[in-house]
Structure 1
Amino acid sequence: MTASIQVLRTIKPPLRWVPEQREFTRSFLESKSRDPNGPSYDDLTEGPESVLQEAQRILGRCLPPTETGNAETGLVVGYVQSGKTLSFETVIALARDNGYGVVIVLAGTKNNLLDQSEERLKKDFGIDDGDDHWYHLHNPTSTQKSQIETKVAAWQRKPTKKALLITVLKHGGWLEKLATVLKSVKLEGVPSLIIDDESDQASLNTKAARIKAGLAAITDISTTYKSILKLRAVLPHHSYLQYTATPQAMLLLAQTDFLNPNFAELVTPGDAYTGGKEFFKGDPGLIVDIPLTQVPTPTRALTSPPKTLLESFRSFLLVAAHHSLTRQRGPKPKDRNRSMMVHPAVATRSHKQYKAWLDKARKTLKATLEQLHASNPAAAEALFKSEYDSLAKTFPDIRPLSELVAELVDEVFDELDIVEINGTKDAEAKVKWKTTRYWVLVGGAKLDRGYTVEGLCTTYMPRPLGTSPAADTLQQRARFFGYKAPYLGLCRVYVQATVKAAFTEYIEHEEFVRSALAGNRGKPLSDWRRDFILTELLKPTRANVVGLGTRRIPVNGWLVPDALQNDDNAAEANRKLLAVVVPKWTQAYGQPVNAATLLTGISSSPHDVIEAVPLRAVLEDFLLEVRVRNARDAEEHSAMLIALASMLAADSTLKVDVFLMNRLQEGYRTRVAGHGLPAANRYAPINQYFSQSAGTVNDSKHCFKDRISLQLRRFNLGKHQRDPSTADVKDVTWFALNVPSKLRKALLIEARK
């Protein structure tokens, strides 16, 4: 442990302080290592990406318990179902060991999420077993004021006494009650910690966009956000940690927002984690398309169960049977459950319909198998042959079909429950995972973010993508991510093709954001310019919480700078760059050839081409070196560089065809009024880049459909359309880049002021 502390003290930028693992944290992690489904103690504690050391980094960025000062706000980012709860439990354990007297967990916006978090905290911290470290309160009100005062006073006298652990629903009313009761308690000198679980949900100011647009006063704030600010205001010595797998909303808050994070840290999943890359970029057999004709719409109701719903149910039954045959038995069995999730829509009436279809399918299959199993086993197996063959391709170790069918009859149907999980009165009862092994959960919003489905292996989600969906909302539906590596080949996700495409493209966005956060880990987030790769299918988050100015730039087709001459020093540097880079590429990649010999439909051309220059060379030699000083051009250039770097990371063999326009003889262009400048100003933007004069070859056609093309030019710029002699700015290096549609990207960038 001494070595670990030494490593933590060398982290750059340095931690504010180094939390130490003491009795409670050690005991907590040892108990987690004894969990049949948990990692070993060494895995939890050893190495820079272990749960313990990442938790020490997170808490070490917070306000030290021995110092007073401004409240600290941090962002902690993991993947969906990746161990964020274990991370913040470890942070809480460290807080207890290192002198924090109050910990508050904002544990979800729905009672089922609050209950889920509370049950885990009480179990893992031994609270229900009479542990000496915590006094737990659920949604406290003024009636519990004396209890809180007594416990806080006892802790102040002797910090080895129980600390206060409060779990509260993330709802304006309950947060107001908590703030009111804590306001009347003397909390000076009591270090406090707030954990905001799923922090991008409900916590943020939903009027931020109106404030940014000048349509609302800065004091006009939404209810839950206001209540969180009140709660923070009554804690004189606290830090606030925002935990989420989808940080887009927090990263797009205005810099002046009270919940704008000061720093970011990451939660690294273990080796057994399976997320978007494994499901949507890995084995294609894991994702199954739901045809549009099998999805109900407002104008097309389904009168019978969709074929793919029944297929998915049969697939799940086989997985359950395999689990039943191979599961570990004993008083504490490992990997107890297997589950299926059906997520048709938000409306509860659809849940009843899908549940009724599944209930009928179970009844019919059970009766049929019981009849055929003894008399005609081949016919019984034929009912599942298609689904079995599919599973065997991705999980060759699946047990023989004959054994699985027998296990369905003998065990699985008797251990299977099909339930609704939604807000209706008869569906509010919690799923008690230990009561039976196999579950089918049918629901909507309550199966979205934060809800853990034990052993989820089959997901049927006909829910459509919707109009302009938010990236973070889509990703939070991915309850099928998690620690599933041992049985990943048995998992299936049934979605529409558009949803699959959105998830697939989201992965690149998620990895880009995560890598940017890793590069800025622990640094002030105010210094990080928000530039995101984001599919055009998605917006980053709900618009009403965005307080930061952003602009979407498609990197698709021609990208041309507007005003490369607006800085004399930069223009001179670009002239020198062009003079060096063209001979370098000619020597390395071959002499230029005339464009007409390569392009179809063009009989003659004044332009030459250096073919197949590696994209890496184009980036390193030219695009990263060229000076772009105009603010709007710089935004687009930044987006272009990010997109090209992403393409290169995906395919290191990409090539660029470099067109030497007019063989790099100076052409002539005029300037136009723009950027607040008259056309006569030498720094006004160029009139047009592509020559479209009658009788000339259209320069925009000088590119290849399937490869990136770069045009290099030299221009003299003047005031009069047809009089090159009026040129008053000479020899300006210009360039244009064409990205073919198959490589297109879309960037969401922070707008420069």
Structure 2
Amino acid sequence: MIDGILTPGNDPVGGGDLVVGDTFTGFLQEVVNDDARDSVRASAINVLEGALSAGPSSTGLVVGRVQSGKTLSYEGVIALARDNGFSLVIVISGISNPLLTQGERRLKGDLGSADKDGWLFAVPNDKQQSLQQIEQALQNVQANWSKASTPKAYKQTAVVVLLKHHGGILNLTGLFDRVDFSGQRVLIIDDEADQASLNTLAKKGKQSATYGNLLALRDSLPGHYYLQYTATPQAPLLIAIDDALSPDFVRVLEPGVGYTGGDRYFGSADKLVKTIGAQDLAAADHPNGPPPEGLRQAMLEFLIGVAHVVTTGKPKTRSMLVHPSRQKDSHADFVRWITGMKKDWQDKYEHQDEVFPVKLQQEFRDAWNELATTHPAIATFDECWDALDIVFRNLNIVEVNTRQGQTPVINWIPTQSYILVGGQAIDRGFTVEGLTVTYMPRGPGTRTADTVQQRARFFGYKASYLGLCRVYLESDVRDDFEMYVEHEKDMLAALRDIEAGNESLKEWKRQFLLDNKMKATRASVISIPMIHVKAKDRWIADTKPVRDDAPPLATAHAHAIEALTGVEWTETPFGHRAGYATLTDALELLVQTSPESWLAEPNVQALLLNLSKLQDDEPTEAVVRVVWMRPDGGLARRQLTSDGGVQLFQGRNASGYYGDRDEFDPAAPLTIQLHEVEVVERGTKRPLGEYLVTAWRIPEESRVGWLIEVGT
């Protein structure tokens, strides 16, 4: 690493150490908060170094969290790229004009603060800039960078901010067919890369329009480096490895200080998340009736939280998000309810000298009491009550959809508070500043993991005021978020391992911890063959033990005895021998006694992953139940069935035995059975071999499932 100033144009495509120059230094000083400066610096260097190491035309996957600062990250990468001879940056930002406008404003402001004269911004979707004007500007940039003798002051980096739409991408590609940037370093940032960019027609052997035009754009810029930014990387990880958008390397962005994500909301005992009752859901279906009670409670808590901010004398934006569904008529109903409640409360408040609103004040007091349990530093209730006058007068209620023609762009003002009502427009990429209260009376829908996560607009840097936050969710949606937290934790751990160089991303066999109720992403983009395996509430056993690679019974028996050396055995009433082992012992038993061909089967892969997860979750070595089935009764004879397998488990009998399938400990995280069997041919009874067969059962309480890549 060299700290210094790059003279742009010196060897723009060649290698060499990464340079930290004036632009990136200015970005860190002018844009990034002091407490985040070191982490932003390190992550930007890590990302750009990864791209340069992978080489031109490479694809990098940069994974952050919802509302964790991905935009700040790629702004840092762009600033660093300028210091390292990149003449052109293309940011493909959002699928709607409001999101494009949001991204464009921020890029201009932040990059301009880093280097006032270093940029030339081009926005093809901006009606103030024609493609002809942009082409002329880019020709000037290309010409200045192509000559090493051009002074640095004349070498602006062009930043093209583009809507993720096939028509705009096609027009830009045509422009680069006329303006030749080959031989120069070009950076392409694909924001929300899992959305719209990928080929939704892959299974039909065709190319979707946006995907095909993205490939053409990349082909027109041979010196480019492509970075996919997303908080939900499932889709890019599940496309075919040879797809042009399949990533070559990965970088995981760690959230900065003060970030609160899923593990904080759904992994603690705090009263931040509340379940929306059936009464609320029923009320939401009757727009002519009174507003849902949960909506009323959520709004009271939000307004008290805003009043607390007013009492501090330091205005800060505070927002509430109401996310009922994608249906615009439903949005209008909620806007009407919210507007009606606000008008009614404000009227009573403003006329309290005439008729004091005792009931209303008590409702606000109850809301204050609720928030005080998680935010002890809240102003007194009397102070908050007195501040409500200012709150009511500066409250904006905004319907965020296209019902009135175009989705509104929010101009966030610190002295204002906002209640936003919307659906798809606020699902992904939409930043809600100062969000404290979320009310989401909608069902789980298709239960697609990346969609569930993208709805978590309530994640973000909220540590200083987290106690004022509340999230109201329908019960199934709450369950989905809880499941997603575990899914994300496992997925990021695997990606960090790949980033550390322990495995190649291209060679990594995709394995995701994912409950069977959920899908990883939309099926249309998945090209890698995957299978969803449930590893709970059933026995997993090798029912076809006659295998070429099966170890002899004596060998397997010896390995089992060695793995279970520490078990203290006791006799059971029905002739079994039982005890308890550690998870480490269980893993050794599984690997040492099982044929490799069985271990490669998806359900056994899920079992192995489950055991590894149990071991991670239980560092103190939770004990598992082990039962050696009828060890003194000789080999159990099993004949082949018509499908080439065996019926391993003995059923109920007249002596009162409940059957092998019920021989497990429901309180243990795992029960293992060991069966010693002789397999004979059906009909002739010809001996086919003697085997040790293990059977494994995870209790129903475990909600773990796995999405596993199959084949080679």
Q: TM-score, normalised by structure 1?
A: 0.86
Shift of 1:272: 0.3
The residue correspondences of 1:336-355 to structure 2 (distance < 5 A) are: 336-355=316-335
What letter matches 2:674 in structure 1? L
Q: Deviations 1:362-417 (Å, cap 9, x if unpaired)?
A: 111111122337874865531212222211111122111111111112x2112211
- 2:694 corresponds to: 735
What letter matches 1:559 in structure 2? I
- 1:720 corresponds to: 682
- 1:250 corresponds to: 236
Q: Which stretch of structure 1 is more off in the superposition, 621-630 or 344-353?
A: 621-630
Whole-angstrom CA distance in 2 between matches of 1:695 and 1:225? 66
Alignment size in residue pairs: 685
The residue correspondences of 1:117-196 to structure 2 (distance < 5 A) are: 117-126=103-112, 131-139=116-124, 142-143=131-132, 144-157=134-147, 158=150, 160=152, 161-196=155-190
Contact 1:559 1:737 in 2 (8 A): yes
What letter matches 2:65 in structure 1? Y
What letter matches 1:184 in structure 2? R
- 1:285 corresponds to: 271
Distance 1:640 1:295, change over 3 A: same
- 1:638 corresponds to: 605
Contact 1:669 1:716 in 2 (8 A): yes
Q: Secondary structure at the match of 2:664?
A: coil
Distance 1:130 1:576, change over 3 A: closer
Q: Deviations 1:649-694 (Å, cap 9, x if unpaired)?
A: 33445321101012174222233565xxxx5xxxxxx322212386
- 2:440 corresponds to: 461
Whole-angstrom CA distance in 2 between matches of 1:575 and 1:113? 66
Unaligned ranges ≥5, structure 2: 5-14
Whole-angstrom CA distance in 2 between matches of 1:554 and 1:739? 10
Whole-angstrom CA distance in 1 between matches of 2:198 and 2:137? 31
Q: Deviations 1:572-600 (Å, cap 9, x if unpaired)?
A: 4x8535424436635x3422321x3xxxx
Distance 1:17 1:262, change over 3 A: farther
Q: Which stretch of structure 1 is more off in the superposition, 695-704 or 314-323?
A: 695-704
Whole-angstrom CA distance in 2 between matches of 1:550 and 1:632? 17
Distance 1:101 1:584, change over 3 A: closer
Shift of 1:566: 2.0
What letter matches 2:676 in structure 1? R
| Residue 388 (1) aligns with residue 368 (2) | yes
Shift of 1:435: 6.7
Q: Which stretch of structure 1 is more off in the superposition, 231-240 or 634-643?
A: 634-643
Distance 1:446 1:703, change over 3 A: same
What letter matches 1:84 in structure 2? K
Percent pairwise identity: 34
Whole-angstrom CA distance in 1 between matches of 2:404 and 2:124? 21
Which of 537, 541, 558 is 2:539 aligned to? Answer: 558
Contact 1:168 1:175 in 2 (8 A): yes
Whole-angstrom CA distance in 1 between matches of 2:515 and 2:158? 44
Whole-angstrom CA distance in 2 between matches of 1:584 and 1:223? 57
Distance 1:514 1:183, change over 3 A: same
- 1:56 corresponds to: 45
Distance 1:577 1:32, change over 3 A: farther
The residue correspondences of 1:692-707 to structure 2 (distance < 5 A) are: 692=651, 697=657, 698-707=659-668
Whole-angstrom CA distance in 2 between matches of 1:654 and 1:561? 25
Contact 2:320 2:420 in 1 (8 A): yes
Which of 223, 247, 258 is 1:261 aligned to? Answer: 247
- 1:81 corresponds to: 67
What letter matches 1:31 in structure 2? E
Q: Deviations 1:447-468 (Å, cap 9, x if unpaired)?
A: 11101000000001112111x3
What letter matches 1:658 in structure 2? V
Whole-angstrom CA distance in 2 between matches of 1:193 and 1:394? 45
Q: TM-score, normalised by structure 2?
A: 0.91
Distance 1:690 1:113, change over 3 A: same
| Residue 623 (1) aligns with residue 590 (2) | yes
Distance 1:648 1:632, change over 3 A: closer
What letter matches 1:661 in structure 2? M
Whole-angstrom CA distance in 1 between matches of 2:556 and 2:17? 48
Shift of 1:491: 0.3
**Alignment RMSD:** 2.5
What letter matches 1:105 in structure 2? V
Q: Deviations 1:178-209 (Å, cap 9, x if unpaired)?
A: 1111111111211111100000010011112x
Shift of 1:142: 3.8
- 1:322 corresponds to: 308
Q: Secondary structure at the match of 1:61?
A: helix
Contact 1:416 1:436 in 2 (8 A): no
Whole-angstrom CA distance in 2 between matches of 1:302 and 1:394? 35
What letter matches 1:414 in structure 2? R
Which of 483, 487, 490 is 2:461 aligned to? Answer: 483
Contact 1:59 1:91 in 2 (8 A): yes
What letter matches 1:402 in structure 2? D
Contact 1:76 1:242 in 2 (8 A): yes
Whole-angstrom CA distance in 2 between matches of 1:110 and 1:273? 27
Distance 1:628 1:367, change over 3 A: farther
Contact 1:529 1:750 in 2 (8 A): yes
Contact 2:593 2:692 in 1 (8 A): no
What letter matches 1:431 in structure 2? I
Contact 2:447 2:480 in 1 (8 A): no
Whole-angstrom CA distance in 2 between matches of 1:71 and 1:53? 23
- 2:428 corresponds to: 449
The residue correspondences of 1:189-208 to structure 2 (distance < 5 A) are: 189-208=183-202
The residue correspondences of 1:484-563 to structure 2 (distance < 5 A) are: 484-521=462-499, 524-556=504-536, 557-563=538-544
Q: Which stretch of structure 1 is more off in the superposition, 542-551 or 651-660?
A: 651-660
Q: Which stretch of structure 1 is more off in the superposition, 411-420 or 381-390?
A: 381-390
- 2:671 corresponds to: 709
Shift of 1:564: 4.3
What letter matches 1:606 in structure 2? G
Whole-angstrom CA distance in 2 between matches of 1:632 and 1:543? 27
What letter matches 1:323 in structure 2? V
Q: Which stretch of structure 1 is more off in the superposition, 506-515 or 282-291?
A: 282-291
Contact 1:577 1:622 in 2 (8 A): no
- 1:614 corresponds to: 582
Whole-angstrom CA distance in 1 between matches of 2:23 and 2:115? 14
The residue correspondences of 1:350-365 to structure 2 (distance < 5 A) are: 350-365=330-345
Whole-angstrom CA distance in 1 between matches of 2:119 and 2:191? 20
Shift of 1:633: 4.9
Contact 2:91 2:189 in 1 (8 A): yes
Q: Deviations 1:558-579 (Å, cap 9, x if unpaired)?
A: 11124444244x514x853542
Distance 1:298 1:277, change over 3 A: closer
Shift of 1:436: 3.8
| Residue 668 (1) aligns with residue 662 (2) | no
What letter matches 2:540 in structure 1? L
The residue correspondences of 1:40-51 to structure 2 (distance < 5 A) are: 40=35, 43-45=36-38, 50-51=39-40
Q: Which stretch of structure 1 is more off in the superposition, 369-378 or 169-178?
A: 369-378
Q: Secondary structure at the match of 1:742?
A: coil
- 2:622 corresponds to: 654
Whole-angstrom CA distance in 1 between matches of 2:103 and 2:624? 52
Contact 2:284 2:292 in 1 (8 A): no
What letter matches 1:151 in structure 2? V
Whole-angstrom CA distance in 1 between matches of 2:648 and 2:416? 67
Q: Secondary structure at the match of 1:372?
A: coil
Whole-angstrom CA distance in 2 between matches of 1:358 and 1:744? 38
Whole-angstrom CA distance in 2 between matches of 1:376 and 1:432? 36
Whole-angstrom CA distance in 2 between matches of 1:190 and 1:2? 21
